[in-house]
Structure 1
Amino acid sequence: MRYLNFLLLLFSVSTALAADLRIKVVDPHSAAVAGAQVSVYRQGESVPLQVRSTSGDGEAVFHLASAASLRVQVLAPGFAAAWIEVDTSSFPVLVKLQVAAASETVVVTATRTFAPEQETASSVTLLSGDTIKTMQPVSFADAMRFLPGAVVNVAGQRGGLGSLFVEGGDSRYNKVLVDGVPVNDPGGTFEFSTLPLAEADRVEFLHGAQSTLYGSDAMTSVTQVFSQNGTSATPELRLGADGGTFGTAHGYAALSGARSRFDYDVFADQFNTHGQGPNADYTNALQGGNFGVQVSGRVLFRLRARHSNSRTGVPGEWNFNGQRLLPPDADQRARANNFLGDAELLIAGPSRWQHRLTGYDYNTRRLNQDTTPDRGCDAPPYDCPFLDSTHLNRAGFMYQGDYTPRTWLQTAVGYEVEDENGRLTYATTPPIPRLNHAAYVLQRATWKRLSAVGGVRYVHNATFGDKAVPRVALTLAALKGGSLFSGTRLRFAYSTGIKEARFEEEYAGPPYSIPNLHLKAEQNRAFETGFEQGLFNSRYQLSATYFNNLFRNQIDYTTVDFVNFIGQYQNIDKSMAHGAELRLVGRVTSRLSWTSAYVYTSSQILAAPAAFDPLHQPGQPLLRRPKHSGNMLLTYLGSRWGANLGGSFVGRRTDSDFLGFDVKHAAGYARVDLGGWYAIHPRVTAYVNVENAMNDHYNEVVGYPALTANFRAGMRFRIGGD
């Protein structure tokens, strides 16, 4: 009997020693933070016991054999890294995150893992969800134009073809991700002006060649949109509507929440406008959902879907730097229908491992049609009837494993497979599906004052074959500094970017073209170097970066049979771009932030043997890459009101009308946008946004006039919620 009592006593003691550590992570407004990475350490040790991610309600649960004194690290994108000490008397634990200093914000895109920006050796900008709500951008392009180093060109008004140029690269050299899933066309094309940012939690914008992490198309930048998760214990319904100039009407609704193991966010958004001028109307309808379930303390499953359907008039080229040389096209129309779905499984453990498995499907259909030659078919602009349709699909699977053996060391390994296929109306040879594979490894280490990131990706592409893509980046904390000059960092990176061919290039066929099924990958040899200087206790950061990009194996169309005028796409062009970026970012107060940048870019065509236009000859600058450009964004986010001031200036740049009017440039311009909101009641908010407030008349793409000054005003309501 005594022996039995001893066993019961021993069992009760061991049970008391074992404990479930429950961590609740909230933002400065006490709202739950989903998806944060939480690591638990023993006091005085650098080896994590366990690593978890917070669920929709902001909680992470750890099953520990002993509840001795612990340290907890919390990393959440958009906030400063948090360290706290806990013991048995402090369960459950509430961690309130703080707004980060200029260079200490945690980001994900730079390393595919949670890391403070200063440890990534990369140039990355984060646009928070609160800032996006203040800006109220109609599309992705409207938000991107105010980010450092971004040059956005939209061909005309709402719904016009939107392009992004970074560090002198082509518009197809930018990888675009939504929750980690690639949404570029095969070959890199992406239309920035038709992607709404409804229910976006944040946007991360990463500079430089990043194909080691993200594969094809990441030649000069990576942009990633992260969806918002439901976090409120009580279901929350959000409604809003606004209207403005040019017959603009906009409405949206979202229902979200988090209860027990489940979280959800379903939403819809509708935008309509008549536009300015003939055939300038645009409409875009978006629906989506984000559902998560905490299967167990270690397993989180998430399902997301987004669908958008847009229609727009296409007036074409007609106003060239203020000169009306043509009438607008009165009947050309464009449509786009996009669907993105993905399922994600996040598994914590064993021990210091985290595993992420993602399956996805992205489908896009586009139609461009002109039924009447109202501007004439025999002379410029050659307005002939046509029907152009595109149907593209990408389905794939991605695995990433993150191993954290020490606080200062982390390894990421991954494997990806994707099946790309599509059909084009003018490609006479039906595209053969591309089945591509890739594996990568990335090592991140911080030792004393040195932070290093290195990795390599091995790619097997159905078109260009096998390719190894390396990257190495270093950051050295040269000086710790004081209150005025608070730390100096030196930065260097060398990397390679790759881009596969478009279907139009690979499968162009008879009667006037020959398919080329063995096009090489376009490549970028890139390096950058610079410094970062903290100021005033790191509230501000001044940085200067020199970048150098050498683009090789660029694809161009060349004539191979001069008798029958038959051509083929080949890897024959070469170009380069180098320059410098000067950036100043800061947090004036906890509520007022500032981001600004000036970029000088010098570009040159090195080889273009098939070029016949003088603007495309060797020695000429690359089209639509300005030498001088700059951006700024000032944002105030208070408890009762918020406001933002955004500015973008783009200098004169080489461009062409391509119609024989001898227009060889686009004039420089400056654009200023304003936005603000005021909380009439905790559940009722009024807001207003003004675009092109200085009423500048300009072309982002020569021949396509941008919208003049315009505004929208409306109200949003919140029902339920915490």
Structure 2
Amino acid sequence: MRIHIHHLAAPLVLGLTLPALAQTTTPAATPPGAPATIVMPETIVTATRIPTPAERVPAAVTVITRQDIEERGYQTLSEALATVPGLRLVQAGGIGQQASAFIRGGASRHVVVLLDGVPVNDPSEPNGAFNFGNELLGDIERIEVVRGPGSSLYGSGAISGVINLITRRAPANTPIQAFGEVAGGTQGTARGTLGLAGTMPGWDYMVAGQGLTTQGTDATPRRFTRDTRETEDFRAAAGSARFGWNPAAGTRVEGLLRWRENHVDLDNVPNDDPNYTGNDRRWFGQLRGETALLDGIWTTGVRVALTEDRRRYLNLPDARSSATTDDLFRGERQVFDWGNRIRLGDVGPFAQSALAFGVTHEREAVDQASGSPSFRTTTNATSRSTALHAGLQGQVGGRLDFSAGLRQDLADDYDGFLSWRTGAVLAVPEVNSRLILAAGTAFKAPSLYQRFGRIGTTFQGNPDLRPENSFSWEVGTETDIALFGREDGGTFGATYFDTQYRNLINFNRSFTSLENIERAMSRGVELGLTLRPAPWLDGRVAWTATETRDEATGAPLARRPKNVVAVSARVSPTDRLTIAPEVLFTGPSPETAAYSNSGAFIGGVTYNKAGTVANLTGSYRVMEGITAFAEGRNLTNSRYEPANGFGTYGRSLLVGARFVF
């Protein structure tokens, strides 16, 4: 049996507490001469914060490894997530521009993004949503996507899913290793990464720098009659440094510092704008450590983390518009976490039982001013919250695994929330299958803007807002099928999910404040088929069918298409050559804000046309430690619009080489 993951069938590690730091070190890069591979841990930490064999976890999980990132030519986080089952990625513009993720029909603000287990959603974003268009992947080891309610682990915002970005780590038993890549291509695009990593007795390190620049993407649809075909530039840079110390067996202390800054040209819809620019910068740092007590029965750890976000958007008057924009957003988050895991062993009828518990404290601060002088939007506020969480898991009869989690969030300035999640996995080895059943609640706290924001004298946030909340359940199965002369020649998976949303926040009738007045639902099915006809060939088809509805109006929720199909393959006829095609089909998508070909605004519910985007990446190992590659994006030059008024940018080609010595 195989855990339900994307691309590679490998275990993963995920958790907000400290998941066995000394056991989860993975290579920063592959050995010289070998294809890109990742040695993954034997256990995972998902719904219970407890290291658990992959096949015993009751969750729908997708893992995008370093190998996937390289073989499929993913430059940014938005590119990497585009084919994840159950996730619809909408990018409003070219590389680096605003991108939103809708998981299982939930809103983009209902997704929590973690960096090495720490939330990094920008508090100054009015709804608390994450911009998936910003992140580069040169220092990312793997990306883990958990679909379904996650508030019992991660608190506010984890209604529809959690995405964890895990940075590169030092290779074992290697004092120094250099890794990197250099590439260039069409649209004036250039990309580079350079890093060093190594392991010494008792300590290890990793430092990396990366950059990406492009000068020719244009996402303004050609159908607009006033399109000037102006291109938008994008420049991004990032640096990270990690140092670890192992003073004794079972004890580890680790620090990480990461900086990322982007500069991007923006457009107003439906017109190009020659001098509208944005700057987005984030500083992230954390220090964490853990130790094993009582011969490893009890593991305890602490974490301190700080994230600072700064975004500025500037637009000066020009021949096309006399308007002036100077928007500034500053957000800060501090996280203090104490986590514990206790191995209980066999207790009565329960085997391999374990308990996790801990306390998490967060502080958020926002200082924001945007809009015209006569219609200025401002927010200047701080909030604090403390959460108590616990989880329990075990096994009954050698084939039924169960888990349960509970978290109480307590806040200074809004009602707290008690969230829970429970699930079970039944192994049926007689038919090479496993059955999964899970359910839980989740919530999204009102943002600081929603509670305390102002727009001139016409709008005032509502400090009495309640958290948005949901109840979700899912049932699924996964079966290995004997094909092509092997027991796992094929793997079929199916998951049905259902979510009810309550107390959703929207404007009141007079548009002078906000209220908890909306209700919605989403349900659907995720189907996946993986075929392995030969050792050098495997392919996957993933089809997600989703139905969403605003329960007050009956209308479908915007930007949630009913059908999304992703087809991918990995062809490696020799140990040197790998070819990775990828095709994404998106069905018609409802919109509540659209534009005609003349640029006139269209109100009400309309539908974007369906579209297909095809990518192809090829890699060839030239010699030990050096691999050449070519990445072709949007090969058919599709003009599909993920969001109305923003088209997929045109066909591109990038060629380069990566190395590890």
**Which TM class, normalised by the smaller chain length?**
0.7 to 0.9
Residue 433 of structure 1 aligns to which amino acid in structure 2? T
Aligned to 1:95: none
Q: Is the 8 A contact 2:358 2:390 kept in 1?
A: yes
Aligned to 1:390: 329
Residue 620 of structure 2 aligns to which amino acid in structure 1? Y
SS at 1:504 equivalent = helix
Residue 284 of structure 1 pairs with residue 223 of structure 2: no
Residue 132 of structure 1 aligns to which amino acid in structure 2? I
- Kindly name which structure, 1 or 2, has the bigger radius of gyration based on alpha carbons: 1
Q: Is the 8 A contact 2:633 2:652 kept in 1?
A: yes
- 2:555 is aligned, of 620, 623, 630, to 620
In 2, Cα distance between equivalents of 1:591 and 1:422 = 52
- CA distance 1:182–1:55, change in 2 (3 Å): closer
1:67-466 superposed matches below 5 A: 79=40, 81=42, 106-186=43-123, 187-231=127-171, 232-277=173-218, 278-318=230-270, 327-351=271-295, 352-372=297-317, 374-376=319-321, 384-406=323-345, 408-426=352-370, 430-447=379-396, 448-466=398-416
TM-score by length of structure 1 reads 0.79
In 2, Cα distance between equivalents of 1:577 and 1:314 = 33
Residue 655 of structure 1 pairs with residue 591 of structure 2: yes
Residue 606 of structure 1 pairs with residue 551 of structure 2: yes
Deviation at 1:243, TM superposition (A): 0.5
- 1:597 is aligned, of 502, 522, 542, to 542
Deviation at 1:363, TM superposition (A): 0.6
Deviation at 1:292, TM superposition (A): 0.8
Q: Is the 8 A contact 1:409 1:444 kept in 2?
A: yes
In 2, Cα distance between equivalents of 1:652 and 1:35 = 36
Deviation at 1:590, TM superposition (A): 6.0
Aligned to 2:564: 629
- CA distance 1:202–1:158, change in 2 (3 Å): same
| More displaced stretch, 686-695 vs 462-471 | 462-471
In 2, Cα distance between equivalents of 1:504 and 1:275 = 35
- 1:645 is aligned, of 577, 581, 587, to 581
Deviations 1:414-458 (A, max 9, x none): 210011001110476653311110011111212222111111101
In 1, Cα distance between equivalents of 2:534 and 2:358 = 40
Residue 527 of structure 1 pairs with residue 473 of structure 2: yes
Size of the aligned set, in residue pairs, is 599
- CA distance 1:649–1:356, change in 2 (3 Å): farther
In 2, Cα distance between equivalents of 1:575 and 1:35 = 32
SS at 2:381 equivalent = coil
Deviation at 1:123, TM superposition (A): 0.5
- 1:494 is aligned, of 431, 435, 439, to 439
Aligned to 1:25: none
SS at 1:130 equivalent = helix
- 1:473 is aligned, of 412, 423, 426, to 423
| More displaced stretch, 423-432 vs 441-450 | 423-432
In 1, Cα distance between equivalents of 2:589 and 2:634 = 20
Deviation at 1:709, TM superposition (A): 1.2
Deviation at 1:376, TM superposition (A): 4.2
In 1, Cα distance between equivalents of 2:99 and 2:602 = 24
Deviation at 1:697, TM superposition (A): 1.2
Deviations 1:530-578 (A, max 9, x none): 2222222345431211111111111111244xxxxx6001111111111
Residue 579 of structure 2 aligns to which amino acid in structure 1? A
| More displaced stretch, 509-518 vs 205-214 | 509-518
Aligned to 1:612: none
| Aligned-pair Cα RMSD in Å | 2.5
Q: Is the 8 A contact 2:47 2:405 kept in 1?
A: no
Q: Is the 8 A contact 1:636 1:642 kept in 2?
A: yes
- CA distance 1:284–1:596, change in 2 (3 Å): same
In 2, Cα distance between equivalents of 1:34 and 1:698 = 34
Deviations 1:217-261 (A, max 9, x none): 111011111111111523112232110110001111001111111
Q: Is the 8 A contact 1:80 1:116 kept in 2?
A: no
Deviation at 1:472, TM superposition (A): 1.1
In 2, Cα distance between equivalents of 1:491 and 1:259 = 43
Residue 710 of structure 1 aligns to which amino acid in structure 2? S
Deviation at 1:276, TM superposition (A): 2.7
1:505-520 superposed matches below 5 A: 505-509=450-454, 510-520=456-466
Residue 564 of structure 2 aligns to which amino acid in structure 1? S
| More displaced stretch, 386-395 vs 421-430 | 421-430
Unmatched tracts of structure 2, length 5 or more: 1-10, 28-36, 219-229, 346-350, 371-375
TM-score by length of structure 2 reads 0.86
In 2, Cα distance between equivalents of 1:541 and 1:34 = 19
- CA distance 1:80–1:201, change in 2 (3 Å): closer
In 1, Cα distance between equivalents of 2:159 and 2:330 = 25
Residue 420 of structure 1 aligns to which amino acid in structure 2? E
Residue 459 of structure 1 aligns to which amino acid in structure 2? D
Unmatched tracts of structure 1, length 5 or more: 1-32, 38-50, 59-75, 82-105, 319-326, 378-383, 561-565, 608-617
SS at 1:501 equivalent = coil
Q: Is the 8 A contact 1:488 1:531 kept in 2?
A: yes
In 2, Cα distance between equivalents of 1:451 and 1:683 = 43
Residue 561 of structure 2 aligns to which amino acid in structure 1? P
Deviation at 1:339, TM superposition (A): 0.9
Residue 166 of structure 2 aligns to which amino acid in structure 1? F
In 1, Cα distance between equivalents of 2:290 and 2:253 = 6
- CA distance 1:57–1:689, change in 2 (3 Å): closer
Q: Is the 8 A contact 1:78 1:128 kept in 2?
A: no
Residue 550 of structure 1 pairs with residue 500 of structure 2: yes
Deviation at 1:331, TM superposition (A): 1.5
Residue 487 of structure 1 aligns to which amino acid in structure 2? N
In 1, Cα distance between equivalents of 2:488 and 2:632 = 32
In 2, Cα distance between equivalents of 1:439 and 1:573 = 29
Structure of greater relative contact order (alpha carbons < 8 Å, 6+ residues apart): 2
